[in-house]
Structure 1
Amino acid sequence: MKHLAFRAMVVLAVLAAFAVPSAAVTPDEVLDDPALEQRARDISAGLRCLVCQNQSIDDSDADLAKDLRVLVRQRLVEGDSDQEVVGYIVSRYGEFVLLKPRISARTAVLWAAPAIILLGGLAYLFFSARHRKAVSEAAPLSAEEQADLRKVLSSRDRDS
């Protein structure tokens, strides 16, 4: 029984090792010109499926992803450059459609936010530690202050 289970695990491991993610591009979408098709694939690999949101349009089976793949190919056939095609898609769907967003003035805060938060947290820890150290190292009471404290404590003990 153990031997059979081991064999099954080995077969599954081998199959998993050879599993290749399949592209969702259907044969009717493929361009006749191999160079244009390769450009289309390269562009599609960098565009996000707006339905799936974690896949490129090349890997998604969603209808919107298919429409975007067809649009990319149409623009390439019309003679647009790769940058023009991506620019056209971004102008229609926004920067979110890019799997690797561009660094711009609008996105700079998003790119810098983790570092800013980390530095702010470290600064808070540093200054709060310094403040705690200063409070714990307060000057000892003077003789007059100690006498006043004894008076207050002794009068309090008598009242209770």
Structure 2
Amino acid sequence: MRLLLSLAAFVLAVPLAAQDSMPPAPYAYRQLDDPAQEAAAQDLMETLRCLKCQSQSIADSDAPMAGDLRHQVRIRIAAGEEPEAIRQWLMQRYGDYVSYKPEVSASTWPLFAIPLLLVLVAGGILVGRLRRRA
């Protein structure tokens, strides 16, 4: 039984180890030749969240997945694609969480409405208490 568990653990661990041993994508750590395109790519990369680190942008992260995303951003910018179109493509692929610039949609509107409602309720309570004192 232990041999079977050890074999299963080894079989599952090999693909995980192989993912980190792959070479990075060509544009993961190499800048574009055109300074204007590289500046546009850098601006976009600073507004995209690393899905592995979750607290860093893909511009700051050293995670292999962040390198792959930097590569995708740079080759798409070099191909002439607009930064906002790249952001939309990444959001469709990875979800709204990948962007530091949230958009109001059918699934995210409560995130924008609830804080506003809380401020209005707190303001109403404050006005009510001030009127009672007066």
User: When the two structures are superposed, what TM-score results if normalisation uses the length of structure 1?
Assistant: 0.56
Distance 2:124 2:43 in 1: 44
Distance 2:28 2:110 in 1: 42
* Alignment partner of 1:38 is 2:39: yes
Q: Which runs of 5+ in 2 are unaligned?
A: 1-26
Question: Per-residue displacement from partner, 1:73-99 (whole Å, max 9, x unpaired)?
Answer: 111122211111111111111110001
Question: Per-residue displacement from partner, 1:43-96 (whole Å, max 9, x unpaired)?
Answer: 101101111111111011111111100000111122211111111111111110
Q: Tell me the number of residue pairs that the alignment of Structure 1 and Structure 2 aligns.
A: 104
Residue 70 (structure 1) aligns with:
71
Higher relative contact order (CA 8 A, sep 6+): 2
Aligned partner of residue 117 in structure 2, secondary structure: helix
How many Å apart are 1:37 and its aligned residue?
0.6
* Alignment partner of 1:87 is 2:117: no
Aligned partner of residue 57 in structure 1, secondary structure: coil
Distance 1:119 1:81 in 2: 39
Identity between Structure 1 and Structure 2 (%) = 43
User: When the two structures are superposed, what TM-score results if normalisation uses the length of structure 2?
Assistant: 0.65
Q: Which runs of 5+ in 1 are unaligned?
A: 1-25, 131-160
Cα–Cα, structure 1 residues 32 and 59, in superposed 2: closer, same or farther, change >3 Å? same
What RMSD, in angstroms, separates the aligned Cα atoms of the two structures?
2.5
How many Å apart are 1:114 and its aligned residue?
2.1
Residue 56 (structure 1) aligns with:
57
Q: How does 1:8-157 map to 2 (within 5 A)?
A: 28-120=29-121
Aligned partner of residue 49 in structure 1, secondary structure: coil
Aligned partner of residue 107 in structure 2, secondary structure: helix
Distance 1:27 1:95 in 2: 22
